[in-house]
Structure 1
Amino acid sequence: MTSRLFDLVQGIRYQSPSQTSTIEAIKITQITEDSRRVTPGTLFVALRGVHADGHLFVHKAIEAGASAVVVEELPKEQVEGVVYLVVEDTAKALGELSARWEGNPSEGLTIVGVTGTNGKTTIATLLYRLFRSAGYRCGLISTVCNYIEDEPKAATHTTPSAPELQRLLRQMKDAGCTHVFMEVSSHAMAQHRTAGVHFSGGIFTNLTRDHLDYHGTVEAYLKAKKSFFDGLGKDAFALTNLDEKSGPVMLQNTRAKKYSYALRNPADYKARILERYPYGTSIELCGKEVLVQLIGDFNIYNILAVYASALLLGMDQDEALRHISTLKAVDGRFQTFISPHRGYIAIVDYAHTPDALVNVLDTIREIKGKDAKVICVVGCGGDRDKGKRPIMAHEAALRSEKLILTSDNPRTEKPETIIQEMLDGLSSSEQSRTLRITDRAEAIRTATMLADRGDIILVAGKGHETYQEINGERHHFDDREVIKAQFAQEV
């Protein structure tokens, strides 16, 4: 596949020392931001990343055969025969160029983006499942896995890089998909990965402390989320959670049609919890009663957002309710296992922020038996926001009879150091109810041995993940596998 450089850059504001005739003559064989992937005929886009600046690799890309490079500033020495295009923001340009390369696939798709700290994966996945069950051909782009209809595609990021995202959308369109539901991370917005994507709708869930290692401040984190809604077109819908204080802020400057959902405050789409059960929740959605197979207030917010979005996309109310009643929990999100021999419950959840952990533990305390105890196994990731570590431990200790601090994804940090920083957030009485077990598998096994019939164990932080990242390497590890293996040994 080749494309004329002149055609690719139409609509993109740039300056170039090259003649227009030269730009018209160049044919491009691929677009990449990775100098290691450059082959003859490549258009190389120099991104300013967190750990490296692509401008430092322009010369390497040219040596590998790049015909043209997109930069924010011209290098001091320029190579004859190579086209240099200077733009204000190379990350945004990469998204727009990638969209053109793939034939602007989003223009023929109904794409709904979901952003917020918690709930993105659940809402996007449930929308994908709901619309598929209603007979639509759909794609899913999420943290857990990407899907083109029922064909899985491995996910490496919550929101893929711009070239990968546009390639996925092209494949989805070619497969006959009409609807795509995708998570939109704050990183993706800050890095303009979704530039060139035409969204039909956007959903905001909530905003709590997360990713401060990247954004620096909560304000910057909020601004990144808000930029998604700022970029929606007037033909799109923008749906926000009015029970969340940041909810109205998200829609302040959007051109999209504004809608809201809530459990507590007046909103366009309202839900009311009627009855809680260990296996689900009876709720009222906009005056209609339905039994859903998810539990916890946080999941009712997710269901409400899914329901509202389905109606905004034109689905009949009764049809939406019928499909919503069949939806089940997403992998690694309040995923429940019951010990067949000893009768305790183990729950695996991705909760890795203080707010998410509080939500899950509060839900567990609501559904547990009167004399049952809660045992929480949790850690914090390395090379990430250190400020949340003592907060996570304290919130877990407040809501658990027994707390086990363990390793999560330590990355390049020492697990013992992370655990100690979590311990520092505990009072002496909380520490007396806390164990520190670095080996995560051993921590989970210990929790199961401490559990009695009816007790509930929460294994938090990794959810769907099937690896543990230690010293830059990923080793196979799955909380769910450890739990099932322990069940098999019990008599």
Structure 2
Amino acid sequence: MRHDRPTHDKHWLSLNLPPPVCGRFPEKVLSLSDDSRQVENGALFLIRPGEGFRWEFVDEALDRGASYLVADRKAFAEIDSRPALSSRICESAGLSLVENLPRAVGQLASSWWGFPSSFLKVIGVTGTNGKTTSSFLTRSVCRAGGLPCGLIGTVVFDVGHEETEAPQTTPGAIRIQSLFAESLRNGLKSVSMEVSSHALDQDRLAGTNFSVVHFTNLTRDHLDYHRTMEAYFEAKRKLLMWENPDGSHPVAVVHTGDEYGARLAKELERDGRRVLTYGEGADAMIRPLRVDVGLSGIRGTLRTSRGEMSIDSSLSGHYNLQNILGAVGCGEALGLSMEKIAEGIHSLPGVPGRFERVDSPTGFSVIVDYAHTDDALSNLLSAVRPVTRGKVITVFGCGGDRDRGKRPRMGSVAGRLSDFVVLTSDNPRTENPESILDEIEPGLRETGTPYVRVSDRKSAIFEAIRRARPGDAVVIAGKGHENYQILGKQKIHFDDREIARLALAESSR
């Protein structure tokens, strides 16, 4: 097992790759990369054709000193059709062909770092909503239970020395395995990670050994990528049906209050897998008995597979009760005591950009949340409504270049559960912001709820706070922890929480 930066010899190459189709294995490879810009002298370079790929990247990798290359067998015809490139590969390096390159990348990366996940308790959570809060809760539970725990997810990467801003929910295969290795080097015993449907569909987790896999729910999202709900479900299903490299299976923690979760639980049970179910139904193994959910937190008693346990959490909202139940299941799957699980839940003060309250001296509440699907927005506003004496004023939009079908659905949810809506931009990307609002508007208009269109997000937040009165709640949804906005191809600094504070300061003058 290696925790530092490894190098490998041709014996390692012969164990992990098919024989060369041209050239020969080098005596030693010094690094592993699938990005030609990061190739160093002596690197093993993985050729990954796809969106944005150009064959010039292979030349760049060779220019930078790549000593051996790996490609998908399907790409060989493309290489062979470029005589100059083919000759250069064979003369200055060498080439192996694999049947499934995305899967091979993960397996190679795992082997490269000495199979680091097999020495960790890796807990992977997937689902449309709740992944981030669930991963934070699970990290807190592991820490309380004596398992120093890292975090890989949408908000931050934490591998034991400091938290860094996450560039994406689930990174590429090489990066994932290097993060596991770094976690080990820093003395961690476990890692709680979010697993996106894109990562599962693209085999980024290949080579990973999971101890626990957790399914939260499945609602409409990412259909710009998956096209159908069934394809989206099949991507998520891969994690729950996971087989580890050694042939073992992780414990599955499944929310059976969700229809897709109920399907998964039945399939897992038929296959003889160990499953811990949670939800509010009487048949769920982990369920609430007597629980109070309020703006100040969630407190009460749960039924678990090992008996009753008390919880006291500062998280708000009924949907966070589901996240807590799932974290209890993950703790049980790891064999942690109920006392330590409860301690971990209690010790988590909150999650950045998830039902995050912005201090307001004005007598009304300001809540920033990442909710960017119709289900997440419904859960959020349903949590705010019962604890708000006055009006619920919602600021939201929809991302550009993403699933357009959810836009009117989100408009309908906002209208049904708000007293006033400020319709605005999210990350419009390359779409016209006004055109996005045009597609949200029909669902909002049919509810009869009054609203205004303010496409500039900063102005929209100022407008909502200007309208608020004591007892009201201003809910700013869609971006949560994000500190940027994407306009066209440009990413600018933008943080809903900062803008809300500016607007509150102005309103209190």
Q: Does TM, normalized by the shorter one, top 0.5?
A: yes
Paired letter, 1:46: I
SS in 2 for 1:424: helix
Of 325, 332, 341, 2:353 maps to 332
Of 385, 391, 405, 1:387 maps to 405
Q: How does 1:246-325 map to 2 (within 5 A)?
A: 246-251=260-265, 252=267, 256-286=273-303, 287-325=308-346
Between 347-356 and 225-234, the greater mean CA deviation after superposition = 225-234
The alpha carbon displacement at 1:55 in A equals: 6.0
Is the 8 Å Cα contact of residues 141 and 343 (structure 2) preserved in structure 1?
no
Q: Which runs of 5+ in 2 are unaligned?
A: 1-5
The alpha carbon displacement at 1:63 in A equals: 4.0
- The match for 2:373 is 353
- The match for 2:116 is 105
Is the 8 Å Cα contact of residues 389 and 421 (structure 1) preserved in structure 2?
yes
- The match for 2:179 is 168
Is the 8 Å Cα contact of residues 8 and 100 (structure 1) preserved in structure 2?
no
The alpha carbon displacement at 1:9 in A equals: 5.5
Identity %: 38
The alpha carbon displacement at 1:429 in A equals: 6.0
Of 170, 174, 189, 2:200 maps to 189
Aligned pair 1:68/2:68, yes or no?
Answer: yes
The alpha carbon displacement at 1:421 in A equals: 1.3
Q: How does 1:18-417 map to 2 (within 5 A)?
A: 18=22, 22-23=24-25, 25-49=26-50, 51-53=51-53, 57-72=57-72, 73-74=75-76, 75-76=79-80, 77=83, 78-79=86-87, 80-81=90-91, 82-149=93-160, 151-233=162-244, 234-251=248-265, 252=267, 256-286=273-303, 287-340=308-361, 342-369=362-389, 372-417=390-435
Task: Identify if the C-alpha distance between structure 1 residues 442 and 43 changes in structure 2 by more than 3 Å, giving closer, same or farther.
Answer: same
How many angstroms apart in 2 are the aligned matches of 1:162 and 1:241?
A: 27
Aligned pair 1:476/2:497, yes or no?
Answer: no
What TM-score, normalized to structure 2? 0.90
How many angstroms apart in 2 are the aligned matches of 1:197 and 1:317?
A: 28
| CA offsets 1:113-160 (integer angstroms, 9 cap, x no match) | 000001111011111123224443221101000112351123111011
SS in 2 for 1:246: helix
| CA offsets 1:266-296 (integer angstroms, 9 cap, x no match) | 1222223532332012232113333322222
How many angstroms apart in 2 are the aligned matches of 1:40 and 1:131?
A: 40
- The match for 1:467 is 484
SS in 2 for 1:98: helix
Is the 8 Å Cα contact of residues 111 and 179 (structure 1) preserved in structure 2?
yes
SS in 1 for 2:213: strand
Q: Which runs of 5+ in 1 are unaligned?
A: none
Equivalent residues, number:
482
How many angstroms apart in 2 are the aligned matches of 1:269 and 1:415?
A: 44
Task: Identify if the C-alpha distance between structure 1 residues 454 and 53 changes in structure 2 by more than 3 Å, giving closer, same or farther.
Answer: same
Q: How does 1:381-460 map to 2 (within 5 A)?
A: 381-427=399-445, 430=448, 433-460=450-477
Is the 8 Å Cα contact of residues 46 and 53 (structure 1) preserved in structure 2?
no
How many angstroms apart in 2 are the aligned matches of 1:434 and 1:363?
A: 21
How many angstroms apart in 1 are the aligned matches of 2:165 and 2:381?
A: 30
Aligned pair 1:3/2:15, yes or no?
Answer: no
Aligned-residue RMSD, C-alpha: 2.0
Is the 8 Å Cα contact of residues 383 and 411 (structure 1) preserved in structure 2?
yes
SS in 1 for 2:399: coil
How many angstroms apart in 2 are the aligned matches of 1:305 and 1:408?
A: 29
Is the 8 Å Cα contact of residues 273 and 281 (structure 1) preserved in structure 2?
no
Is the 8 Å Cα contact of residues 293 and 318 (structure 2) preserved in structure 1?
no
The alpha carbon displacement at 1:11 in A equals: 4.8
Task: Identify if the C-alpha distance between structure 1 residues 428 and 172 changes in structure 2 by more than 3 Å, giving closer, same or farther.
Answer: closer
The alpha carbon displacement at 1:58 in A equals: 3.2
How many angstroms apart in 1 are the aligned matches of 2:299 and 2:206?
A: 40
Is the 8 Å Cα contact of residues 249 and 273 (structure 2) preserved in structure 1?
yes
Is the 8 Å Cα contact of residues 114 and 183 (structure 1) preserved in structure 2?
yes
Task: Identify if the C-alpha distance between structure 1 residues 471 and 198 changes in structure 2 by more than 3 Å, giving closer, same or farther.
Answer: same
| CA offsets 1:90-124 (integer angstroms, 9 cap, x no match) | 11111111112212111111110000001111011
How many angstroms apart in 2 are the aligned matches of 1:447 and 1:387?
A: 26
The alpha carbon displacement at 1:240 in A equals: 0.5
